[in-house]
């Protein structure tokens, strides 16, 4: 199975496998199918509402009995309604390509050569036989009553503009474009003579300076001072002192706290008991330092 080819928006070209793939049909909103090999491929999805236009053509036929007006209206009505159409045969090489070429020539008023260029750009493996090609030439002569477009410079509507841009963008080969030469300045680069090269020694040879963080100098005249009001001093608020007197008085109070001696006597450390346990009598019992209790003999 070959992947179906999107010709324009709403028109797909595929083989027998694409006609059997229901997931592909539903995903791309295909509501109409043109079966160009109805003698070999049955219409599988008529039961679910897909509309078919069947042609029982054979590859051996020299001419295809074809109503181009009906086929054009069948495809164009579905595209204008926002739906999609699949044109398929067994291998999508000759018969289905024939239908797509006639539709594009009539819709965009393209010549046969321009139409084949467009399809070959999308699907390069089609094989139109000589008898079918002669039928396309006759159809082109019939269309010569109105002027046909043979170049890609002019587009008459939005659909043709989209198709033209698709073709032109695919033909643009960026690798074959001539490379632009960079503009080379005539001025030569000159180095300054006063530049001095700097030698960086290894890391273990570098001596780092030890920086000490300088301590900020305190200015007592600018320091905020918090005064503590002692409960014993009732006239603290009424007193007026200078800044130096307040600092001296606070320092003197802190020194007095350290100079206070306690009246308690020092605790003497207990002497360690000797080898012989010291015995003392307690209410008829002798207690030793070894915590043994001996009963006094009467």
Residues 63-94 have pLDDT tens digits of 888 898 999 999 999 999 999 999 999 999 99
Rounded to whole angstroms, how far apart are CA atoms 255 and 249?
10
For 5-170, CATH number out of 3.40.50.150, 3.90.190.10, 3.40.50.300, 3.90.550.10 equals 3.90.190.10
CB 71 within 8 A of CB 51: no
CB 117 within 8 A of CB 172: no
Residues 148-152, mean pLDDT to the nearest whole number: 79
According to the model, what pLDDT value does residue 135 have?
A: 92
**Higher pLDDT pick, 112 / 153:** 112
According to the model, what pLDDT value does residue 227 have?
A: 55
**Higher pLDDT pick, 52 / 142:** 52
Residues 238-257, mean pLDDT to the nearest whole number: 68
Phi, psi torsion values for 81, nearest 5 degrees = -85, 0
According to the model, what pLDDT value does residue 265 have?
A: 59
* pLDDT tier, 243 (very low <50, low <70, confident <90, very high otherwise): low
According to the model, what pLDDT value does residue 28 have?
A: 94
Side-chain half-sphere exposure of 38, counting CA atoms within 13 A: 11
According to the model, what pLDDT value does residue 231 have?
A: 54
Residue 180: is its pLDDT beyond 60?
no
CB 18 within 8 A of CB 86: yes
Burial class (CB in 10 A: 0-12, 13-18, 19+), 127: exposed
What percent of the chain stands above pLDDT 90? 40
Mean predicted lDDT score pLDDT of the chain: 76
Residues 32-41, mean pLDDT to the nearest whole number: 95
Q: Averaging pLDDT over each range in 4-18, 181-195, 201-215, which range is the top one?
A: 4-18
In the structure encoding, which two tokens stand for residue 6, read together? 């999107």
pTM across the whole model: 0.56
In the structure encoding, which two tokens stand for residue 54, read together? 């069947």
What are the distances in angstroms from CA 252 to CA 43, 52, 173, 248, 249? 116, 115, 97, 6, 5
CB 29 within 8 A of CB 11: no
Beta carbons within 8 Å of 10's beta carbon, 6+ residues apart: 78, 79, 82, 83, 84, 85
* pLDDT tier, 50 (very low <50, low <70, confident <90, very high otherwise): very high
Q: Which of 274, 296, 276, 277 is nearest to 286 (CA)?
A: 296
Residues 178-198, mean pLDDT to the nearest whole number: 53
Note the residue count of the chain: 298
């Amino acid at each position: 199975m070959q992947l179906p080819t999107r010709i324009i928006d709403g028109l797909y070209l595929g083989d027998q496998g694409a006609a059997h793939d229901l997931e592909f049909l539903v995903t791309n909103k295909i509501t109409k199918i043109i079966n160009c090999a109805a003698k070999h491929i049955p219409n599988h999805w008529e039961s679910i509402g897909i509309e078919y236009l069947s042609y029982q053509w054979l590859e051996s036929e020299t001419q295809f009995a074809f109503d181009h007006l009906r086929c054009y209206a069948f495809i164009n009505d579905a595209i204008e309604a926002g739906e999609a159409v699949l044109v398929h045969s067994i291998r999508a090489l000759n018969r289905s390509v024939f239908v797509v070429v006639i539709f594009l020539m009539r819709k965009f008023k393209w010549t046969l050569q321009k139409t084949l260029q467009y399809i070959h750009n999308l699907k390069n493996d089609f094989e139109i036989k000589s008898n079918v090609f002669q039928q396309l030439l006759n159809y082109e002569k019939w269309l010569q009553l109105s002027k046909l477009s043979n170049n890609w410079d002019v587009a008459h509507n939005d659909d043709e503009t989209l198709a033209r841009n698709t073709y032109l963008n695919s033909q643009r080969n960026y690798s074959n474009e001539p490379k632009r030469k960079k503009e080379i300045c005539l001025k030569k680069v000159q180095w300054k003579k006063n530049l001095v090269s700097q030698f960086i020694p290894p890391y273990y040879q570098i001596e780092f300076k030890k920086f000490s963080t300088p301590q900020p100098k305190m200015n007592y005249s600018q320091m905020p001072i918090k005064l503590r009001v002692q409960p014993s001093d009732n006239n603290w608020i009424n007193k007026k002192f200078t800044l130096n007197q307040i600092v001296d008085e606070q320092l003197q109070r802190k020194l007095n706290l350290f100079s206070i001696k306690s009246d308690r006597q020092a605790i003497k450390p207990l002497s360690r008991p000797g080898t012989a346990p010291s015995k003392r009598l307690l209410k008829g019992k002798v207690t030793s330092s070894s915590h043994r209790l001996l009963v006094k003999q009467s």
